[in-house]
Structure 1
Amino acid sequence: MSWALSLPTESLKDSSARHVLLCLANYAGSNGAGAFPSASTLAQDTGLSERTVRYKLDDLEKSGLIQKGNQAIAAVHIDRHDRRPVVYDLQLARGANPAPRTKRGADDATGCNSQQNGVQPGTERGAESAPNPSLNHQVTEEQLQRELADEIELQEQAAAECPAANQRFAMFAAWVPPTKALSDQIAIAGLPADCVPDEAIRKFKGFHCAKPNTLDSAAGWCYRLVQWVKRERVQAAGRGQEPDFNDTSWGDDLGGL
Protein backbone atom coordinates (compact mmCIF):
# COMPACT_ATOMS: atom_id res chain seq x y z
CA MET A 1 0.00 0.00 0.00
CA SER A 2 2.84 2.40 0.79
CA TRP A 3 4.13 1.86 -2.76
CA ALA A 4 0.77 2.89 -4.21
CA LEU A 5 0.64 5.95 -1.96
CA SER A 6 4.12 7.03 -3.03
CA LEU A 7 3.42 6.94 -6.78
CA PRO A 8 4.09 10.40 -8.24
CA THR A 9 1.25 12.11 -10.04
CA GLU A 10 3.01 11.93 -13.39
CA SER A 11 3.04 8.12 -13.14
CA LEU A 12 -0.73 7.95 -12.66
CA LYS A 13 -2.78 11.06 -13.35
CA ASP A 14 -6.23 9.43 -13.42
CA SER A 15 -7.65 9.94 -9.91
CA SER A 16 -10.18 7.11 -10.26
CA ALA A 17 -7.49 4.67 -11.41
CA ARG A 18 -5.27 5.74 -8.50
CA HIS A 19 -8.19 5.15 -6.13
CA VAL A 20 -8.67 1.63 -7.51
CA LEU A 21 -4.93 0.94 -7.26
CA LEU A 22 -4.80 2.08 -3.63
CA CYS A 23 -7.66 -0.24 -2.70
CA LEU A 24 -6.24 -3.13 -4.74
CA ALA A 25 -2.89 -2.73 -2.96
CA ASN A 26 -4.66 -3.28 0.34
CA TYR A 27 -5.32 -6.89 -0.72
CA ALA A 28 -1.79 -7.68 -1.95
CA GLY A 29 0.95 -9.41 -0.01
CA SER A 30 4.02 -7.60 1.28
CA ASN A 31 5.74 -8.31 -2.05
CA GLY A 32 2.83 -6.83 -3.99
CA ALA A 33 1.60 -10.19 -5.29
CA GLY A 34 -1.63 -12.14 -4.99
CA ALA A 35 -4.32 -9.45 -4.83
CA PHE A 36 -7.67 -10.84 -5.92
CA PRO A 37 -10.59 -8.75 -4.63
CA SER A 38 -13.67 -9.00 -6.83
CA ALA A 39 -14.83 -6.05 -8.91
CA SER A 40 -17.84 -5.71 -6.63
CA THR A 41 -15.55 -5.54 -3.58
CA LEU A 42 -13.44 -2.82 -5.18
CA ALA A 43 -16.62 -1.01 -6.19
CA GLN A 44 -17.71 -0.99 -2.55
CA ASP A 45 -14.25 0.15 -1.42
CA THR A 46 -13.99 2.97 -3.97
CA GLY A 47 -17.61 4.02 -4.43
CA LEU A 48 -17.22 3.55 -8.19
CA SER A 49 -19.40 1.32 -10.34
CA GLU A 50 -18.21 -2.21 -11.13
CA ARG A 51 -17.92 -1.29 -14.81
CA THR A 52 -15.70 1.68 -13.98
CA VAL A 53 -13.57 -0.49 -11.69
CA ARG A 54 -13.01 -2.99 -14.52
CA TYR A 55 -12.10 -0.18 -16.93
CA LYS A 56 -9.60 1.24 -14.45
CA LEU A 57 -8.05 -2.18 -13.81
CA ASP A 58 -7.56 -2.53 -17.57
CA ASP A 59 -5.95 0.93 -17.67
CA LEU A 60 -3.64 0.06 -14.77
CA GLU A 61 -2.60 -3.15 -16.51
CA LYS A 62 -1.94 -1.33 -19.79
CA SER A 63 0.19 1.23 -17.96
CA GLY A 64 2.31 -1.56 -16.45
CA LEU A 65 1.48 -0.77 -12.83
CA ILE A 66 -0.23 -4.14 -12.34
CA GLN A 67 -0.20 -7.43 -14.20
CA LYS A 68 -2.12 -10.69 -13.98
CA GLY A 69 -0.56 -12.96 -11.39
CA ASN A 70 -0.86 -16.61 -10.40
CA GLN A 71 -4.54 -17.41 -10.91
CA ALA A 72 -4.15 -20.61 -8.90
CA ILE A 73 -4.15 -18.47 -5.76
CA ALA A 74 -7.82 -17.63 -6.25
CA ALA A 75 -8.59 -21.24 -7.17
CA VAL A 76 -7.41 -22.37 -3.74
CA HIS A 77 -10.05 -20.21 -2.08
CA ILE A 78 -12.88 -20.29 -4.64
CA ASP A 79 -13.94 -23.58 -6.22
CA ARG A 80 -16.22 -22.29 -8.97
CA HIS A 81 -14.24 -21.06 -11.96
CA ASP A 82 -16.91 -18.57 -13.00
CA ARG A 83 -16.80 -16.88 -9.60
CA ARG A 84 -13.06 -16.44 -9.31
CA PRO A 85 -11.79 -12.86 -9.55
CA VAL A 86 -8.61 -12.09 -11.46
CA VAL A 87 -5.41 -12.29 -9.43
CA TYR A 88 -3.17 -9.24 -9.88
CA ASP A 89 0.43 -8.52 -8.92
CA LEU A 90 1.53 -4.96 -8.25
CA GLN A 91 4.62 -3.95 -10.21
CA LEU A 92 6.54 -2.48 -7.31
CA ALA A 93 9.51 -1.61 -9.51
CA ARG A 94 7.36 0.77 -11.58
CA GLY A 95 6.60 4.35 -10.73
CA ALA A 96 7.84 4.63 -7.14
CA ASN A 97 10.18 7.46 -6.24
CA PRO A 98 13.76 6.26 -5.64
CA ALA A 99 15.11 6.43 -2.10
CA PRO A 100 17.41 9.40 -1.46
CA ARG A 101 21.13 8.62 -1.39
CA THR A 102 24.00 10.49 0.21
CA LYS A 103 27.53 10.77 -1.06
CA ARG A 104 29.80 8.01 0.24
CA GLY A 105 32.07 9.20 3.00
CA ALA A 106 30.35 12.53 3.25
CA ASP A 107 30.97 13.25 6.90
CA ASP A 108 33.51 10.94 8.49
CA ALA A 109 36.16 8.35 7.83
CA THR A 110 33.72 5.46 8.03
CA GLY A 111 31.65 6.78 5.15
CA CYS A 112 28.66 7.35 7.43
CA ASN A 113 26.79 10.57 7.93
CA SER A 114 27.01 11.30 11.63
CA GLN A 115 23.54 12.83 11.70
CA GLN A 116 21.80 10.24 9.54
CA ASN A 117 19.02 8.19 11.15
CA GLY A 118 19.79 9.41 14.64
CA VAL A 119 23.31 7.90 14.91
CA GLN A 120 26.02 9.77 16.83
CA PRO A 121 29.64 8.67 16.49
CA GLY A 122 30.78 9.84 19.92
CA THR A 123 30.09 8.49 23.41
CA GLU A 124 30.56 11.74 25.25
CA ARG A 125 28.47 11.90 28.37
CA GLY A 126 25.64 14.38 28.20
CA ALA A 127 25.60 14.50 24.42
CA GLU A 128 22.51 15.96 22.82
CA SER A 129 19.79 13.53 21.86
CA ALA A 130 19.96 12.02 18.40
CA PRO A 131 17.84 13.85 15.82
CA ASN A 132 14.61 12.27 14.62
CA PRO A 133 15.07 8.63 15.66
CA SER A 134 11.65 7.83 14.23
CA LEU A 135 13.32 7.52 10.82
CA ASN A 136 14.42 4.04 11.88
CA HIS A 137 10.87 2.79 12.39
CA GLN A 138 8.58 1.25 9.84
CA VAL A 139 5.35 3.07 9.02
CA THR A 140 2.59 1.40 11.00
CA GLU A 141 -0.53 -0.10 9.45
CA GLU A 142 -2.62 2.49 11.26
CA GLN A 143 -0.61 5.30 9.68
CA LEU A 144 -1.00 3.73 6.25
CA GLN A 145 -4.75 3.49 6.74
CA ARG A 146 -4.90 7.17 7.68
CA GLU A 147 -2.80 8.13 4.67
CA LEU A 148 -5.01 6.03 2.42
CA ALA A 149 -8.17 7.62 3.80
CA ASP A 150 -6.73 11.11 3.33
CA GLU A 151 -5.63 10.33 -0.22
CA ILE A 152 -9.03 8.89 -1.13
CA GLU A 153 -10.80 11.93 0.31
CA LEU A 154 -8.62 14.30 -1.71
CA GLN A 155 -9.19 12.31 -4.89
CA GLU A 156 -12.94 12.21 -4.37
CA GLN A 157 -13.02 15.95 -3.81
CA ALA A 158 -10.97 16.55 -6.94
CA ALA A 159 -13.19 14.27 -9.00
CA ALA A 160 -16.35 15.95 -7.71
CA GLU A 161 -15.09 19.49 -8.11
CA CYS A 162 -13.54 19.19 -11.54
CA PRO A 163 -14.36 16.11 -13.65
CA ALA A 164 -12.30 15.88 -16.83
CA ALA A 165 -14.09 17.08 -19.95
CA ASN A 166 -14.37 13.56 -21.39
CA GLN A 167 -14.97 11.79 -18.07
CA ARG A 168 -18.36 10.13 -17.65
CA PHE A 169 -19.77 10.46 -14.16
CA ALA A 170 -23.00 10.04 -12.23
CA MET A 171 -24.88 13.19 -11.31
CA PHE A 172 -24.00 14.63 -7.89
CA ALA A 173 -25.53 17.40 -5.79
CA ALA A 174 -22.62 19.85 -6.09
CA TRP A 175 -22.46 19.67 -9.90
CA VAL A 176 -22.39 23.04 -11.66
CA PRO A 177 -22.96 23.07 -15.44
CA PRO A 178 -19.81 24.30 -17.22
CA THR A 179 -20.61 27.74 -18.58
CA LYS A 180 -19.30 27.15 -22.11
CA ALA A 181 -20.85 23.70 -22.52
CA LEU A 182 -24.22 24.97 -21.28
CA SER A 183 -24.18 28.09 -23.46
CA ASP A 184 -23.18 26.00 -26.50
CA GLN A 185 -26.11 23.63 -25.97
CA ILE A 186 -28.52 26.54 -25.46
CA ALA A 187 -27.33 28.13 -28.71
CA ILE A 188 -27.64 24.83 -30.61
CA ALA A 189 -31.18 24.39 -29.28
CA GLY A 190 -32.08 27.92 -30.39
CA LEU A 191 -33.16 29.00 -26.92
CA PRO A 192 -32.61 32.35 -25.17
CA ALA A 193 -29.43 32.60 -23.12
CA ASP A 194 -31.32 32.84 -19.81
CA CYS A 195 -33.65 29.90 -20.46
CA VAL A 196 -32.14 27.65 -17.77
CA PRO A 197 -32.98 29.08 -14.33
CA ASP A 198 -31.42 27.86 -11.11
CA GLU A 199 -34.59 26.04 -10.06
CA ALA A 200 -34.48 24.02 -13.28
CA ILE A 201 -30.90 22.96 -12.57
CA ARG A 202 -31.81 21.99 -9.00
CA LYS A 203 -34.76 19.88 -10.10
CA PHE A 204 -32.73 18.26 -12.86
CA LYS A 205 -29.93 17.33 -10.44
CA GLY A 206 -32.39 16.11 -7.84
CA PHE A 207 -33.94 13.67 -10.29
CA HIS A 208 -30.66 12.32 -11.67
CA CYS A 209 -28.90 12.08 -8.30
CA ALA A 210 -31.43 9.35 -7.55
CA LYS A 211 -30.25 7.45 -10.66
CA PRO A 212 -26.56 6.76 -9.94
CA ASN A 213 -26.27 4.23 -12.76
CA THR A 214 -26.74 6.97 -15.37
CA LEU A 215 -23.34 8.26 -16.49
CA ASP A 216 -22.48 11.06 -18.87
CA SER A 217 -19.82 13.67 -19.53
CA ALA A 218 -20.22 17.29 -18.43
CA ALA A 219 -21.25 18.30 -21.95
CA GLY A 220 -23.63 15.34 -22.11
CA TRP A 221 -25.35 16.42 -18.90
CA CYS A 222 -25.68 19.94 -20.30
CA TYR A 223 -27.30 18.49 -23.42
CA ARG A 224 -29.79 16.51 -21.33
CA LEU A 225 -30.57 19.57 -19.22
CA VAL A 226 -31.17 21.88 -22.19
CA GLN A 227 -33.26 19.31 -24.05
CA TRP A 228 -35.48 18.88 -21.01
CA VAL A 229 -35.86 22.66 -20.60
CA LYS A 230 -36.69 22.99 -24.29
CA ARG A 231 -39.37 20.33 -24.05
CA GLU A 232 -40.86 21.93 -20.95
CA ARG A 233 -41.01 25.29 -22.71
CA VAL A 234 -42.75 23.78 -25.73
CA GLN A 235 -45.30 21.97 -23.59
CA ALA A 236 -45.96 25.04 -21.45
CA ALA A 237 -46.35 27.22 -24.56
CA GLY A 238 -48.99 24.80 -25.84
CA ARG A 239 -50.95 25.43 -22.65
CA GLY A 240 -50.39 29.16 -22.86
CA GLN A 241 -48.27 29.10 -19.71
CA GLU A 242 -44.71 29.61 -18.58
CA PRO A 243 -42.78 26.42 -17.67
CA ASP A 244 -43.10 25.58 -13.97
CA PHE A 245 -39.85 23.92 -12.92
CA ASN A 246 -41.08 23.54 -9.35
CA ASP A 247 -43.70 21.07 -10.58
CA THR A 248 -42.10 17.67 -9.94
CA SER A 249 -44.41 15.87 -12.36
CA TRP A 250 -41.82 16.57 -15.08
CA GLY A 251 -39.74 13.73 -13.63
CA ASP A 252 -42.30 11.18 -14.83
CA ASP A 253 -41.65 11.98 -18.47
CA LEU A 254 -37.90 12.22 -18.90
CA GLY A 255 -37.79 9.23 -21.22
CA GLY A 256 -34.24 8.38 -22.23
CA LEU A 257 -32.74 11.63 -20.97
Structure 2
Amino acid sequence: MSWALSLPVKTLKDSSARHVLLCLANYAGSNGAGAFPSAKTLTDDTGLSERTVRIKLDLLEECGLIVPGNQALAAVYIDRHDRRPVVYDLMIKRGAVVAPREDATGCSLGQNGVQPTTERGAATAPNTSINHQLTEQQQREISEVVAEQDRQALEPQDDRQRFPMFAEFVPSPEALQAQLKIAGLPEDCATDDLIARFKGFFVAKTAVVDSAAGWCFKLAGWIKRERALGSTSTEEELPAGDWASKGVRL
Protein backbone atom coordinates (compact mmCIF):
# COMPACT_ATOMS: atom_id res chain seq x y z
CA MET A 1 0.00 0.00 0.00
CA SER A 2 2.95 2.33 0.65
CA TRP A 3 3.77 2.12 -3.06
CA ALA A 4 0.27 3.25 -4.02
CA LEU A 5 0.40 6.08 -1.48
CA SER A 6 3.74 7.29 -2.85
CA LEU A 7 2.62 7.51 -6.49
CA PRO A 8 3.01 11.07 -7.84
CA VAL A 9 -0.24 12.82 -8.69
CA LYS A 10 0.92 13.22 -12.30
CA THR A 11 1.13 9.41 -12.59
CA LEU A 12 -2.51 8.98 -11.60
CA LYS A 13 -4.63 12.13 -11.55
CA ASP A 14 -8.00 10.39 -11.15
CA SER A 15 -8.77 10.49 -7.42
CA SER A 16 -11.37 7.70 -7.61
CA ALA A 17 -8.96 5.43 -9.48
CA ARG A 18 -6.29 6.17 -6.86
CA HIS A 19 -8.76 5.19 -4.13
CA VAL A 20 -9.48 1.87 -5.91
CA LEU A 21 -5.74 1.28 -6.33
CA LEU A 22 -5.12 1.88 -2.63
CA CYS A 23 -7.81 -0.62 -1.64
CA LEU A 24 -6.58 -3.15 -4.22
CA ALA A 25 -3.03 -2.82 -2.86
CA ASN A 26 -4.34 -3.78 0.57
CA TYR A 27 -5.05 -7.28 -0.79
CA ALA A 28 -1.76 -7.75 -2.65
CA GLY A 29 1.33 -9.55 -1.43
CA SER A 30 4.58 -7.87 -0.48
CA ASN A 31 5.69 -7.92 -4.12
CA GLY A 32 2.38 -6.50 -5.33
CA ALA A 33 1.15 -9.78 -6.79
CA GLY A 34 -2.00 -11.82 -6.28
CA ALA A 35 -4.71 -9.32 -5.31
CA PHE A 36 -8.18 -10.64 -6.03
CA PRO A 37 -10.88 -8.85 -4.03
CA SER A 38 -14.25 -9.01 -5.72
CA ALA A 39 -15.85 -5.92 -7.24
CA LYS A 40 -18.38 -6.05 -4.38
CA THR A 41 -15.54 -5.97 -1.84
CA LEU A 42 -13.93 -2.98 -3.53
CA THR A 43 -17.35 -1.31 -3.64
CA ASP A 44 -17.68 -1.73 0.13
CA ASP A 45 -14.10 -0.53 0.69
CA THR A 46 -14.30 2.56 -1.50
CA GLY A 47 -17.95 3.55 -1.26
CA LEU A 48 -18.09 3.76 -5.05
CA SER A 49 -20.64 1.95 -7.20
CA GLU A 50 -19.68 -1.42 -8.65
CA ARG A 51 -19.86 0.02 -12.16
CA THR A 52 -17.48 2.83 -11.19
CA VAL A 53 -15.08 0.34 -9.58
CA ARG A 54 -14.94 -1.69 -12.79
CA ILE A 55 -14.35 1.44 -14.87
CA LYS A 56 -11.51 2.52 -12.57
CA LEU A 57 -9.93 -0.95 -12.73
CA ASP A 58 -9.93 -0.67 -16.52
CA LEU A 59 -8.33 2.76 -16.22
CA LEU A 60 -5.62 1.41 -13.92
CA GLU A 61 -4.88 -1.30 -16.49
CA GLU A 62 -4.68 1.29 -19.27
CA CYS A 63 -2.22 3.29 -17.17
CA GLY A 64 -0.08 0.20 -16.70
CA LEU A 65 -0.37 0.28 -12.91
CA ILE A 66 -2.03 -3.15 -12.68
CA VAL A 67 -2.04 -6.21 -14.93
CA PRO A 68 -3.94 -9.52 -14.80
CA GLY A 69 -2.02 -11.95 -12.59
CA ASN A 70 -2.06 -15.69 -11.93
CA GLN A 71 -5.78 -16.54 -12.15
CA ALA A 72 -5.16 -19.97 -10.58
CA LEU A 73 -4.82 -18.26 -7.17
CA ALA A 74 -8.53 -17.43 -7.09
CA ALA A 75 -9.37 -20.99 -8.14
CA VAL A 76 -7.75 -22.29 -4.94
CA TYR A 77 -10.33 -20.53 -2.79
CA ILE A 78 -13.36 -20.34 -5.13
CA ASP A 79 -14.55 -23.48 -6.89
CA ARG A 80 -17.07 -21.94 -9.28
CA HIS A 81 -15.35 -20.42 -12.30
CA ASP A 82 -18.10 -17.86 -12.89
CA ARG A 83 -17.69 -16.46 -9.36
CA ARG A 84 -13.93 -16.04 -9.34
CA PRO A 85 -12.76 -12.40 -9.30
CA VAL A 86 -9.93 -11.30 -11.56
CA VAL A 87 -6.47 -11.66 -10.00
CA TYR A 88 -4.38 -8.50 -10.43
CA ASP A 89 -0.67 -7.80 -9.99
CA LEU A 90 0.41 -4.29 -9.06
CA MET A 91 3.22 -2.96 -11.26
CA ILE A 92 5.30 -1.73 -8.37
CA LYS A 93 8.49 -1.31 -10.41
CA ARG A 94 6.72 0.81 -13.01
CA GLY A 95 5.35 3.27 -10.51
CA ALA A 96 8.24 3.14 -8.04
CA VAL A 97 9.45 6.40 -6.59
CA VAL A 98 13.12 6.97 -5.90
CA ALA A 99 13.73 6.70 -2.18
CA PRO A 100 14.65 10.01 -0.49
CA ARG A 101 18.26 10.44 0.59
CA GLU A 102 19.55 12.08 3.70
CA ASP A 103 21.11 15.53 3.48
CA ALA A 104 24.34 16.61 5.13
CA THR A 105 22.63 16.96 8.49
CA GLY A 106 21.52 13.33 8.45
CA CYS A 107 17.84 14.26 8.13
CA SER A 108 15.67 12.49 5.61
CA LEU A 109 14.44 14.59 2.70
CA GLY A 110 11.18 12.63 2.56
CA GLN A 111 7.93 14.04 3.82
CA ASN A 112 7.79 13.97 7.63
CA GLY A 113 10.97 11.92 7.62
CA VAL A 114 9.18 8.87 6.18
CA GLN A 115 10.88 6.89 3.45
CA PRO A 116 8.11 5.62 1.14
CA THR A 117 10.23 3.13 -0.80
CA THR A 118 13.48 1.26 -0.35
CA GLU A 119 16.69 1.65 -2.34
CA ARG A 120 18.76 -0.66 -4.52
CA GLY A 121 15.93 -3.10 -5.14
CA ALA A 122 15.53 -4.13 -1.51
CA ALA A 123 12.27 -5.88 -0.74
CA THR A 124 9.48 -3.65 0.49
CA ALA A 125 7.98 -4.18 3.89
CA PRO A 126 5.42 -7.00 3.84
CA ASN A 127 1.76 -6.10 3.90
CA THR A 128 -0.86 -8.17 5.63
CA SER A 129 -3.36 -9.68 3.22
CA ILE A 130 -6.40 -11.90 3.45
CA ASN A 131 -5.29 -13.58 0.23
CA HIS A 132 -2.80 -15.84 2.06
CA GLN A 133 0.03 -15.13 -0.37
CA LEU A 134 2.07 -18.10 -1.56
CA THR A 135 5.59 -18.50 -2.83
CA GLU A 136 6.22 -18.58 -6.59
CA GLN A 137 6.89 -22.33 -6.39
CA GLN A 138 3.58 -22.90 -4.60
CA GLN A 139 1.78 -20.77 -7.19
CA ARG A 140 3.27 -22.85 -10.01
CA GLU A 141 2.23 -26.06 -8.26
CA ILE A 142 -1.30 -24.72 -7.80
CA SER A 143 -1.46 -23.77 -11.49
CA GLU A 144 -0.45 -27.30 -12.46
CA VAL A 145 -3.06 -28.83 -10.15
CA VAL A 146 -5.82 -26.58 -11.51
CA ALA A 147 -4.80 -27.38 -15.10
CA GLU A 148 -4.90 -31.12 -14.32
CA GLN A 149 -8.32 -30.75 -12.70
CA ASP A 150 -9.63 -28.92 -15.78
CA ARG A 151 -8.25 -31.66 -18.02
CA GLN A 152 -9.83 -34.40 -15.94
CA ALA A 153 -13.15 -32.55 -15.99
CA LEU A 154 -13.25 -33.08 -19.76
CA GLU A 155 -12.76 -36.83 -19.43
CA PRO A 156 -15.37 -39.35 -18.27
CA GLN A 157 -14.48 -40.97 -14.96
CA ASP A 158 -15.71 -44.44 -15.97
CA ASP A 159 -17.60 -46.23 -18.72
CA ARG A 160 -20.92 -45.72 -16.94
CA GLN A 161 -20.70 -41.95 -16.68
CA ARG A 162 -22.85 -40.13 -19.24
CA PHE A 163 -21.56 -36.91 -20.78
CA PRO A 164 -22.19 -34.67 -23.82
CA MET A 165 -19.82 -34.96 -26.75
CA PHE A 166 -16.75 -32.70 -26.68
CA ALA A 167 -14.04 -31.93 -29.22
CA GLU A 168 -11.26 -33.71 -27.30
CA PHE A 169 -13.15 -37.00 -27.03
CA VAL A 170 -11.15 -40.04 -28.17
CA PRO A 171 -13.13 -43.29 -28.52
CA SER A 172 -11.70 -46.38 -26.86
CA PRO A 173 -10.05 -48.47 -29.62
CA GLU A 174 -11.24 -51.73 -28.02
CA ALA A 175 -14.84 -50.57 -27.58
CA LEU A 176 -14.99 -49.08 -31.06
CA GLN A 177 -13.56 -52.21 -32.72
CA ALA A 178 -16.12 -54.33 -30.89
CA GLN A 179 -18.98 -52.14 -32.14
CA LEU A 180 -17.63 -52.16 -35.69
CA LYS A 181 -17.43 -55.94 -35.60
CA ILE A 182 -21.01 -56.21 -34.36
CA ALA A 183 -22.12 -53.86 -37.14
CA GLY A 184 -20.29 -55.99 -39.72
CA LEU A 185 -17.88 -53.21 -40.65
CA PRO A 186 -14.14 -53.53 -41.41
CA GLU A 187 -11.73 -52.58 -38.65
CA ASP A 188 -10.08 -49.78 -40.63
CA CYS A 189 -13.27 -47.98 -41.65
CA ALA A 190 -13.23 -45.55 -38.70
CA THR A 191 -11.20 -42.84 -40.44
CA ASP A 192 -10.16 -39.60 -38.78
CA ASP A 193 -12.46 -37.69 -41.14
CA LEU A 194 -15.52 -39.75 -40.18
CA ILE A 195 -14.76 -39.45 -36.46
CA ALA A 196 -14.25 -35.67 -36.79
CA ARG A 197 -17.56 -35.26 -38.62
CA PHE A 198 -19.30 -37.40 -36.00
CA LYS A 199 -17.94 -35.29 -33.16
CA GLY A 200 -18.71 -32.06 -34.98
CA PHE A 201 -22.33 -33.12 -35.39
CA PHE A 202 -22.88 -34.08 -31.75
CA VAL A 203 -20.82 -31.31 -30.10
CA ALA A 204 -23.58 -28.93 -31.15
CA LYS A 205 -26.20 -31.19 -29.55
CA THR A 206 -25.39 -30.58 -25.89
CA ALA A 207 -28.64 -32.18 -24.76
CA VAL A 208 -27.49 -35.57 -26.08
CA VAL A 209 -25.48 -37.46 -23.46
CA ASP A 210 -24.15 -40.99 -23.37
CA SER A 211 -21.45 -43.15 -21.82
CA ALA A 212 -18.09 -43.77 -23.49
CA ALA A 213 -19.31 -47.15 -24.70
CA GLY A 214 -22.59 -45.61 -25.86
CA TRP A 215 -20.74 -43.03 -27.95
CA CYS A 216 -18.75 -45.84 -29.59
CA PHE A 217 -22.06 -47.54 -30.43
CA LYS A 218 -23.38 -44.30 -31.95
CA LEU A 219 -20.12 -43.81 -33.86
CA ALA A 220 -20.34 -47.31 -35.39
CA GLY A 221 -23.91 -46.57 -36.47
CA TRP A 222 -22.82 -43.23 -37.92
CA ILE A 223 -20.04 -44.88 -39.93
CA LYS A 224 -22.40 -47.57 -41.24
CA ARG A 225 -24.90 -44.96 -42.37
CA GLU A 226 -22.22 -42.81 -44.02
CA ARG A 227 -20.79 -45.82 -45.87
CA ALA A 228 -24.26 -46.87 -47.03
CA LEU A 229 -25.06 -43.40 -48.30
CA GLY A 230 -21.68 -43.14 -49.99
CA SER A 231 -21.99 -46.51 -51.74
CA THR A 232 -25.38 -45.64 -53.25
CA SER A 233 -24.66 -42.03 -54.21
CA THR A 234 -23.01 -43.06 -57.49
CA GLU A 235 -25.33 -45.95 -58.35
CA GLU A 236 -28.62 -45.93 -60.16
CA GLU A 237 -31.82 -45.61 -58.18
CA LEU A 238 -32.65 -48.85 -56.39
CA PRO A 239 -36.03 -50.43 -55.62
CA ALA A 240 -37.35 -49.72 -52.13
CA GLY A 241 -36.55 -53.23 -50.94
CA ASP A 242 -32.89 -52.89 -51.95
CA TRP A 243 -32.55 -49.60 -50.02
CA ALA A 244 -33.47 -51.43 -46.82
CA SER A 245 -30.80 -54.06 -47.56
CA LYS A 246 -28.26 -51.23 -47.65
CA GLY A 247 -29.22 -50.22 -44.12
CA VAL A 248 -30.66 -46.87 -45.19
CA ARG A 249 -34.02 -45.84 -43.76
CA LEU A 250 -36.50 -44.28 -46.11
Q: Which has the larger radius of gyration?
A: 2
User: Which protein has greater RCO, CA pairs closer than 8 Å, 6+ apart?
Assistant: 2
TM category, shorter: 0.3 to 0.5
